[in-house]
């Protein structure tokens, strides 16, 4: 198996799908001749042409709206938001048109929106957000967030094959930092959680960039404790069984989000555990997340709000001592 970066794994999935299925087409700003702001579609323009690797006008609402129309007549569009932050300009089309279409009138809208998200680079308030919870709250949208190169490819294949609109959260901080062995060809990673590291004293539940962060935080063994890391991979659908299974085995839970804390994915996980896992708990569910502030620009300010290895470690230690 070849070793690919997270970013190369995304490109590989797109390339395989484009080669295998002529219905698949890519739409976005600067993705064609330029190859994309992060070079995910580098070389695609030459191989697949301007129609299937479409440089669109700078119009996010139009990108999503046109993708809905194209999907309704048989294409499988994959839209790139240059930064996930910009989806706010296409929110209405995604939430009101795409998300509600199947429930209202039985018309499926198979499209994928790729959302390069997350902070850590001094991107400031408009290039660093983690907007996944906006879409978890909107019925009819699936939301996935890979943390490894293998899942980045497999989840994207599954998203493109899915008959529903799927928000694919790809974390910019993982693009070139994460590498791994990736199977060749088309394979699907299921929209369910995976145990990234098994354990029995405490479980850290997280997704996306918080998975490698959590693994690093618990790598020194936390004074000999056996710590599990559960990688959610999919936020909608949320793998309730896997979450409750980890809770039953570990009894202590730390939930980590890079997103702002209020109503985040982790808040939903905590609510689920309070409702259905209460009897298994041996301490309060602890949360580590970004406080409810815009992501600031200057490095010391940004580092002060984003979850860190140290903050995750502290939360785990505190809970282990409970």
195's enclosing H/E stretch is strand 194-197
Nearer to other proteins, 72 or 320 (CB): 72
Smallest separation, CB 133 to other proteins (Å): 18
| 3-state class percentages of the chain: helix first, strand second, coil last, to nearest 5 | 40, 20, 40
DSSP 252: -
Q: Quick one: which of 18, 31, 53, 68 contacts other proteins (CB under 8 A)?
A: 68
Smallest separation, CB 48 to other proteins (Å): 12
Q: Quick one: which of 69, 183, 291, 294 contacts other proteins (CB under 8 A)?
A: 69
242 lies in the binding site for other proteins (CB under 8 A): no
Smallest separation, CB 190 to other proteins (Å): 14
Nearer to other proteins, 165 or 296 (CB): 165
75 lies in the binding site for other proteins (CB under 8 A): yes
Q: Using alpha carbons, select from 258, 271, 242 the residue that is nearest to residue 169.
A: 258
Smallest separation, CB 106 to other proteins (Å): 7
- Tokens coding 112: 């994928």
The answer to whether residues 320 and 202 touch, using CB atoms and an 8 Å cutoff, is yes
Nearer to other proteins, 102 or 297 (CB): 102
- Tokens coding 129: 């957000």
Catalytic residue among 127, 157, 171, 173: 127
Smallest separation, CB 192 to other proteins (Å): 15
- Please report where in the chains the tokens 């490894």 appear, as a residue: 148
> Does residue 116 come out as left (phi exceeding 0), alpha (psi in the -120 to 50 range) or beta?
beta
The answer to whether residues 188 and 162 touch, using CB atoms and an 8 Å cutoff, is no
Q: Quick one: which of 3, 96, 192, 298 contacts other proteins (CB under 8 A)?
A: 96
- The CB-side HSE value for 247 (13 A sphere, CA atoms) comes to 27
β-partners of residue 170 are: 116
94 lies in the binding site for other proteins (CB under 8 A): no
Question: Taking CB under 8 A as the criterion, which residues in 118-177 touch other proteins?
Answer: 139-140, 142, 163-164
Nearer to other proteins, 58 or 248 (CB): 58
- Residues 304-316: b if buried by 16+ CB within 10 A, e if exposed: ebbbeeebbbebb
127 is catalytic: yes
- Annotated active-site positions, please? 127
Residues that bind other proteins (CB under 8 A): 25, 51-52, 56-57, 59, 61-62, 64-75, 77, 92-93, 96-97, 100-108, 110, 139-140, 142, 163-164
């Amino acid at each position: 198996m070849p070793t690919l970066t997270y970013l190369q794994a995304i490109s590989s999935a797109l390339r395989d799908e484009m080669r295998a299925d002529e219905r698949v087409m890519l739409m976005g700003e600067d993705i064609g001749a330029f190859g994309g702001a992060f070079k995910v579609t580098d070389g695609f323009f030459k191989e697949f042409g301007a129609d299937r690797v479409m440089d669109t006008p700078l119009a996010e609402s139009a990108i999503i709206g046109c993708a809905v129309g194209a999907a309704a007549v048989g294409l499988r569009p994959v839209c790139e938001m240059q930064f996930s932050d910009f989806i706010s300009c296409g929110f209405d089309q995604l939430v009101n048109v795409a998300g509600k279409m199947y429930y209202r009138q039985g018309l499926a809208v198979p499209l994928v929106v790729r959302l390069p998200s997350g902070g850590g680079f001094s991107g400031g308030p408009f290039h660093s957000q983690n907007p996944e919870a906006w879409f978890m709250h909107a019925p009819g949208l699936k939301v996935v967030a890979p943390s490894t190169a293998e899942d980045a490819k497999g989840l994207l294949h599954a998203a493109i094959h899915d008959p529903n609109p799927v928000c694919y959260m790809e974390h910019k901080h993982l693009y070139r930092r994460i590498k791994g062995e990736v199977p060749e060809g088309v394979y699907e990673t299921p929209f369910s959680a995976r145990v990234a590291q098994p354990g029995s004293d405490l479980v850290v539940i997280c997704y996306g960039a918080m998975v490698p962060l959590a693994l690093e935080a618990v790598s020194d063994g936390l004074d000999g404790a056996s710590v599990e890391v559960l990688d959610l991979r999919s936020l909608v659908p949320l793998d309730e069984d896997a979450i409750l299974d980890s809770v039953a085995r570990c009894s202590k839970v730390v939930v980590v989000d890079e997103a702002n804390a209020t109503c985040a994915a982790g808040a939903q996980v905590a609510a689920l555990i309070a409702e259905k896992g209460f009897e298994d708990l041996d301490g309060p569910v602890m949360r580590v997340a970004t406080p409810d502030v815009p992501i600031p620009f200057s490095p010391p300010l940004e580092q002060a709000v984003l979850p860190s290895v140290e903050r995750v470690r502290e939360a785990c230690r505190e809970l282990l001592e409970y």
